[in-house]
Amino acid sequence: MNKSNIDKILILILTLFAFGLRVWQLDNVPPGWRDDELINSLVISQKVLDGDWAVFYPDASGHEALYHALNALTLALLGVNVFGIRLLSAILGTLAIPLIWLFGRRLVGRWGALVAAGMLAVSFWSLMYSRFGLRHIQTPFITLLTFYFFWAGLTVSSERKASRYFGMAGVSMAAGFYTYFAARGLPLIWLALMGYVWLAARERWQARWRGMVLGLVVTAVLILPLVITLRQQPEAEGRVTELAIPLVAARQGDFAPLGKHIRITLGMFHANGDDEWLYNIPHRPVFSLPIGVWFWFGVIMAGWQALRPFLQRQSANHTALASALLLIWWLAGISPGFLSVPPASLGHTILAQPAVFMLAGLPITLAHRTNRYFAPLLVSVLILVTGIRDLPDYFTNWPQRGLVRFLYKADIHDVAAYLNTHPELTDFGITGLLAGPWDRLALTVDLHKPTLFRPRWFNPERALLLQPSVSFGGYPDVPFAYEEAFWPLPDVPGTGEYQLSQVTYDLNETAEPTCFTNGLCVVSAVYDTETGFLELGWKVAKPLTLPPMPLISNPPPPGVYAGPRLLVFAQMLDTNGNFLAGDDGLWVDPTTLYPGDLFVQRHHLPVNMDGGMVAYGLYDPMTGERILTKDGRDHLSINLQKEEQ
């Protein structure tokens, strides 16, 4: 069997292994759902399914459309579940493996390409972005495709074929613009490469400059709809402005933040990496120190090879051009880490990812020239050492960290796992901070039969669900207003930080509840003049009449209201009915309530004020409109003067 066939078998095995790593335990690592994933799929990709086609969506600080169009296909085919949301990223991350090998053979040789593909397959960096439903992972694939075609156009003998390849590279580069803002650095790399070819390989420049310009023109034409859209809604790209803090400081004459970010980003490969728990074990570098030194040796080699044509006053050969491509690609790809926060961000620098691993494969060519039997051994060692470090870090160490579990709602994931094995528990409460609908949706997505369960969400800082009388409590770690009401059920194991508990609380219900037109009824109202607590008991008399509550991203699109549509107002008024103080809130998710449900919540009003009355009721905070009682009143009240007498 010849070397070519052996390599093809090896890369096939490696690709299948890489795909296995990207789908194995996909429902458990990451340990749950983060808000961004749910927003990406359930809000933005859902717009594609709903027929709301666009090249750019202003939701969540702005999203290009291509990844969401593809994600809509997986959602339509597989449903809203772990594979519907995450499989696209796993596929894109896997496809980068054979592509980096195919391209790497042309740039860094046979053994260097195997190093790049093998290290990428097992790397923490690639696994992180290949296993959740965010658009970042499409960038390495598109970047590889772009420069694969660019290189083919630069090196092919036929000028006609060269123009075709450059045109295909232009199409691929345009696709990058429709994927993620980091891909906007691709034209800068392209232009820098054109400059290098003009300076170091003038004959090749004369033969290929028209094709290179053609590729740029193709890109410019294809991205025109996106450019027009962004010019019409510049506020939609708020995220870019939010992150460019070092650049803003430099424009004001303060270069210290920029210098710090450059230093940290250059150290991300061997010393000090991304500090965000969402994407990394904080400050963990991309490579271990020995592999990091090996990588920097590759960078130095590339720099030397790229400079040789100028030092020796000769035209750049294949090696010099390949080295220049990798070096320019790497520098341009990590530059967002220089210019934005946080420095060394694995997400912002993902454009450089393929170049990083090919630079790590570059020194293997020198080893192969020294001893042809040494190269296969060194390839195995580099991949093995990377895997031994990165695989346990990703699959074991990172997901077990407390802050990672919090950010990915791992405790909610654990509740879902319990419910999936206990289908008899259909009606229950569950505590949360109610910061948007994302906790509720995280639980729904993880349930095998979501229509079987009817969870009621409430914030334990202010509220308590009395009926149903069992709730998952104990989480999040905040002061519970009614902590004494939770009695953990015996013989029921904890689900993460949650504990299934019986809820017992003595609510003094009034003889005649007062009902509002939307279906909520006040059954108890007590104001404690010593503590300032207004305790209101509520019962759901019928299916609630609620205004439309569509899913809105966080942050919402500019000008779109994303707040609640139903709140309880509680006001302290003086004897003349003038407002003194208030405390508004509804600490139960009204979309999760059913007829017969009963809950109590606590409002904080000041004591020692000349208050004559406490007024309370319901209203829509978006419109300010109060909801009337069935007998036409827009509020209810407690006469404090009468109580004092």
Residue type for 141, please? F
Q: If 0-12 CB within 10 Å is exposed, 13-18 middle and 19+ buried, where does residue 370 land? A: exposed
- The reply to whether omega before 363 is within 30° of 0 (cis) is no
Half-sphere CA count of 398, side-chain side, radius 13 A: 28
Buried b vs exposed e over 353-366: b needs ≥16 C-beta within 10 Å? bbbbbbbbbbbbbe
Residue 644's pLDDT is 47
Which phi and psi (to 5°) does residue 428 adopt?
-165, 165
Q: If 0-12 CB within 10 Å is exposed, 13-18 middle and 19+ buried, where does residue 2 land? A: exposed
CATH class of 514-644: mainly beta
- The whole-angstrom separation of Cα 101 and Cα 178 is 25
Residue 576's pLDDT is 87
Which are the contacts of 5, defined by CB distance < 8 A and separation ≥ 6?
none
Residue 642's pLDDT is 63
Residue 645's pLDDT is 37
Contact between 141 and 99 (Cβ < 8 Å):
yes
Half-sphere CA count of 124, side-chain side, radius 13 A: 28
Contact between 329 and 188 (Cβ < 8 Å):
no
Contact between 470 and 464 (Cβ < 8 Å):
no
Enclosing H/E stretch for 412: helix 410-420
Confidence (pTM): 0.95
- The reply to whether omega before 282 is within 30° of 0 (cis) is no
Residue 607's pLDDT is 82
Residue 595's pLDDT is 98
Domain definitions of the chain by residue range: 3-403, 410-503, 514-644
Q: How far is CA 48 from the centre of its chain?
A: 19
Enclosing H/E stretch for 431: strand 427-431
Residue 1's pLDDT is 66
Consecutive sets of 10 residues in the chain, 645 residues long: mean pLDDT of each? 83 97 98 97 97 95 96 97 98 98 96 97 98 97 98 94 97 97 94 97 96 98 96 68 74 89 96 96 97 97 96 94 98 94 94 98 79 84 97 98 96 97 97 96 97 98 98 95 96 89 90 92 93 96 96 93 97 91 97 98 87 93 97 94 55
Question: In 3D, which of 402, 441, 347, 399 has the Cα closest to residue 35?
Answer: 441
- The whole-angstrom separation of Cα 40 and Cα 65 is 11
Enclosing H/E stretch for 458: strand 454-458
Residue 231: how many other CB atoms lie within 10 Å: 8
